Amino acid sequence: MSARASIASLEEAHVGAFEAGEAFARHLDSIDPLRGLAEEFLHPPGPFDGRRLYFCGHSLGLQPRRTRSILEEELEEWATLGVEGHRKARRPWFDYHLHAREGLARVVGAKPEEVVAMNGLTTNLHLLMLSFHRPSGARRRLLMEKPAFPSDTYAVKTHLRARGLDPSDLVEVSPREGEEGLRTEDLVAAIEREGEALSSVMLAGVDFLTGTRLDVEAVTRAAHRVGATAGFDLAHAAGNVPLRLHDWGADWAAWCHYKYMNSGPGAIAGAFVHERHAETNLPRFAGWWGNEPATRFRMQLIPEFHPVAGADGWQLSNPPILALAPLLASLELFDRAGMDRLRAKSRVLTGYLHWLLRERRGDEVMVVTPTDPERRGAQLSLRFPRVDARAVVMTLRSAGAVVDFREPDLIRVAPTALYNSFLDAWRLVEILGPALRGAHAVEVVGGFH
């Protein structure tokens, strides 16, 4: 690593000083202190130095090389120890989830006791809504964004109905007319308007469609001012943008680990419960793994549930070791990078891709994601005024670049600081030119579906 390869030297590459040529992309890579981390991942094979250009970290992150070996270690322990692995494995299965919590706490800005890896994301939304959406008297309403990720909308609507609550107590806040992303100030105003009618808020930390980042702290403060709880879906935020859940005072959060967290398809999810709720006896759906470990195996002798303090107290089942192991492999890489350095690189990398798109494809591409780096993470959402976005995705894929399409007309592209290079970004913009022309021709003959 050259002496000049520091995050500070990357950060000095301001927008005004970017250059459009390939040599400049290579220069940025040469001063990127995190560039070596790309080699810790398996890249799908393709035409660019043997790889595809992979820009779908917002949907499914790449596989760390370490994932396979840690899974093999666990399979080996199971093969040789059988049930004794619960106590005698190198990482005993009994409290295996504890191996993830320090690393997770660093990613989301929490204390270790405030986080736990468990279940799937949507399951965790239900579990935490049960505890933190507690309508009483005139305080009945739940506020979320619209459009939200469909799973969140389905979860909230069915959750309210299943508990016998009134579905019309759901308040949905949309972006302003003519705007794509929600403004924090509009959410804060909506929360203040609801005032004492509001029981809880559940919002996405980064919007899946436009990549707009929410000011979690401002929304949390607003919710608390009116006496409501504040919970967040961090599916597109965890591992992507800086989070300080503890200091910001969020009551709860949940997220998945297969997007920016690179823990594999359908990976085990995460949950955060603020320390101020650690010892409270909030209503919850309980299971034996949420019980005090000291009495967990007294089983039928102690029929009453005694939750362990902290986020662990929301666990239901004994942890799936083969689902947790890939998370440990991934967290090692987050620790090697450090969230601060990762974010610093991400700002420059996404800023560079945005700049290149405007500089070289400005007439053909609209970037829907906010320009201000504080209001976004890695993802850029693109719209094409003149061609069918679906066809652009197909053409890019056949040229060796992986991006995705969201109905009706958006392409999502996420340069991921852990494994994407500046040259990847440059190459994407390079092949986008012919792809746009190809997409146009495709549209004329009827388009792709």
**Residues at the contact surface with ligand PLP, assessed by CB under 6 A:** 120-122, 149, 151-152, 204, 208, 233, 235-236, 256
Are 362 and 401 spatial neighbours (Cβ–Cβ below 8 Å)?
no
- Map tokens 């706490």 to a residue: 105
C-alpha distance from residue 125 to each of 14, 20, 132, 142, 145 (Å):
39, 44, 10, 13, 15
**Least Å distance between CB 233 and ligand PLP?**
5
Find residue 412's DSSP bridge partners: 381, 404
Minimum CB distance to ligand PLP smaller for 37 or for 148: 148
Q: How far apart are the first and last CA of the chain?
A: 46
CB of 238 to ligand PLP, least distance (A): 10
Q: In the complex, what is the shortest distance from the CB of residue 218 to ligand PLP, in angstroms, rounded to a whole number?
A: 19
Q: Nearest approach, Cβ of 264 to ligand PLP (angstroms)? A: 12
Helix, strand, coil tally for the chain in percent (to 5): 50, 15, 35
Find the DSSP H helices in 200-338. Answer: 216-225, 245-248, 293-296, 321-337
Question: Which C-beta is closer to ligand PLP: that of 91 or that of 236?
Answer: 236
Provide CB contacts within 8 A for 416, sequence distance 6+: 54, 55, 57, 58, 61, 62, 260, 346, 378
226 within 8 A of 140, measured Cβ to Cβ: no
Q: Residue 140 or 259: which CB sits closer to ligand PLP?
A: 259
Q: Which is nearer to ligand PLP, 243 or 357 (CB)?
A: 243
Nearer to ligand PLP, 208 or 426 (CB): 208
H or E segment and range at residue 129: helix 121-132
Q: How far is the CB of 46 from ligand PLP (least distance, A)?
A: 25
CB of 142 to ligand PLP, least distance (A): 16
Q: Report the alpha-carbon distance of residue 254 to residue 234 in Å, rounded.
A: 6
Smallest gap from residue 331 Cβ to ligand PLP (A): 18
Nearer to ligand PLP, 33 or 326 (CB): 326
Residue whose CB is less far from ligand PLP, 120 or 373: 120
- CB 176 to ligand PLP: min, Å: 21
Q: Whose Cβ is closer to ligand PLP: residue 129's or residue 399's?
A: 129
Rounded distance between C-alpha atoms, residue 87 and residue 54, angstroms: 40
Query: SS3 letters for 166-215?
Result: CHHHEEEECCCCCCCCCCHHHHHHHHHHHHHHEEEEEEECECCCCCEECC
Task: Pick between residue 209 and residue 357 the one whose CB is nearest to ligand PLP.
Answer: 209
Which helix (H) or strand (E) is 116 found in, with range?
strand 115-117
Minimum CB distance to ligand PLP, residue 440 (Å): 31
DSSP three-state, residue 429 = helix
